[in-house]
């Protein structure tokens, strides 16, 4: 099974490593045509405005929407979560608008630009070590969205069917269980 990582900007190599630890093949995706070769896609962290601009420049917007419409799983981490969201607080325009969530960017404040925490995640047995870097939080979710994890009462991971999103960076530790969770989603989408 091949899982792509959108390789326009951000933590691509780390995601590929975690995908491979979870037993799938990880591929850097630089052109929209390459989406045809993969069964799931990760949109990494970085800077969402920049990733959004590059996605438009390289014609990824409709291509990823079609990928998702075909039922193929997409996982957004940090900036990738922002790119997936239907609504971005304080901004008129969002990006892919695939996931029914409202996100707030850089929501943990200046003094907490980056921090780590142990989080309970629904569907994963033991807490996972989460790395937050200028992280967004999920302000609210629509009916179809399941909250998977919260930190201090704020939503930091959620799932809507074949779409998965986390505020934190699961690729920056050796713990690949959230990638395993995504690989399992991709497997399930192939079976159905
Ligand atoms: N603060 C970034 C943004 O708003 C996201 C940070 C990250 O991906 N680590 O796009």
Tell me what pLDDT residue 191 has. 85
Say how many Å lie between the CA of residue 53 and the centre of ligand 1. 14
Predicted ipTM of the assembly: 0.94
Region 69-93: mean pLDDT is 97
pLDDT tens-digit series, residues 153-187: 999 999 999 999 999 999 999 999 999 999 999 99
* Biggest distance spanned by C-alpha atoms of the chain: 46
pLDDT tens-digit series, residues 145-159: 999 999 999 999 999
Find, among 127, 48, 135, the residue nearest to 95 by Cα: 48
Inter-residue contact 41 to 72 (CB < 8 Å) = yes
For residue 192, pLDDT over 80 is answered with no
Pairwise CA distance, residues 119 & 65, whole Å: 30
Could you tell me where the DSSP H helices lie in the chain?
Answer: 12-21, 48-57, 61-69, 79-84, 177-191
* Top-tier CATH class for 2-191: alpha beta
For a ligand 1 pocket test, name from 9, 82, 103 the mutation site with the most ligand atoms within 8 angstroms of its C-beta: 82
Find, among 50, 48, 42, the residue nearest to 68 by Cα: 42
Does the Cβ of 47 fall within 6 Å of ligand 1?
A: yes
**Looking at the annotation, which residues are catalytic?**
78, 169, 171
Pairwise CA distance, residues 63 & 46, whole Å: 21
Find, among 100, 168, 167, 159, the residue nearest to 137 by Cα: 167
Residue 133 is labelled as binding a ligand: yes
Tell me what pLDDT residue 48 has. 97
Inter-residue contact 41 to 73 (CB < 8 Å) = yes
Tell me what pLDDT residue 167 has. 97
74: helix, strand or coil: strand
Half-sphere exposure of 168 (CA within 13 A, CB side): 27
Query: Helices 61-69 and 48-57, interaxial angle, to 10°?
Result: 90
Percent of the chain at pLDDT exceeding 90: 95
Domain boundaries defined on the chain: 2-191
- pLDDT band per the 50, 70, 90 thresholds, residue 84: very high
- pLDDT band per the 50, 70, 90 thresholds, residue 108: confident
Tell me what pLDDT residue 112 has. 72
Does the Cβ of 46 fall within 6 Å of ligand 1?
A: yes
Say how many Å lie between the CA of residue 105 and the centre of ligand 1. 7
Torsions phi, psi for 70 (to 5 deg): -80, 5
Name residue 191's beta-bridge partners. none
Pairwise CA distance, residues 105 & 139, whole Å: 10
């Amino acid at each position: 099974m091949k899982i792509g990582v959108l390789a326009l900007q951000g933590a691509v190599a780390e995601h590929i490593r975690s995908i491979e630890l979870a037993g799938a093949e990880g591929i850097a995706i630089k052109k929209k045509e390459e989406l045809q070769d993969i069964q799931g896609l990760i949109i990494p962290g970085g800077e969402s405005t920049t990733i959004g601009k590059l996605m438009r420049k390289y014609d990824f917007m409709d291509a990823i929407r079609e990928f998702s419409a075909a039922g193929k799983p997409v996982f957004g981490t940090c900036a990738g979560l922002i790119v997936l969201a239907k609504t971005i607080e304080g901004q008129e325009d969002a990006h892919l608008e695939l996931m029914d969530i409202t996100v707030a960017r850089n929501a943990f404040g200046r003094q907490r630009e980056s921090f780590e925490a142990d989080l309970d995640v629904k569907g994963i047995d033991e807490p996972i070590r989460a790395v937050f870097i200028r992280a967004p939080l999920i302000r609210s979710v629509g009916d179809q969205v399941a909250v998977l994890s919260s930190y201090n009462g704020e939503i930091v991971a959620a799932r809507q069917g074949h779409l998965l999103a986390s505020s934190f960076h699961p690729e920056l530790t050796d713990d690949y269980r959230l990638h395993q969770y995504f690989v399992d989603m991709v497997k399930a989408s192939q079976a159905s």
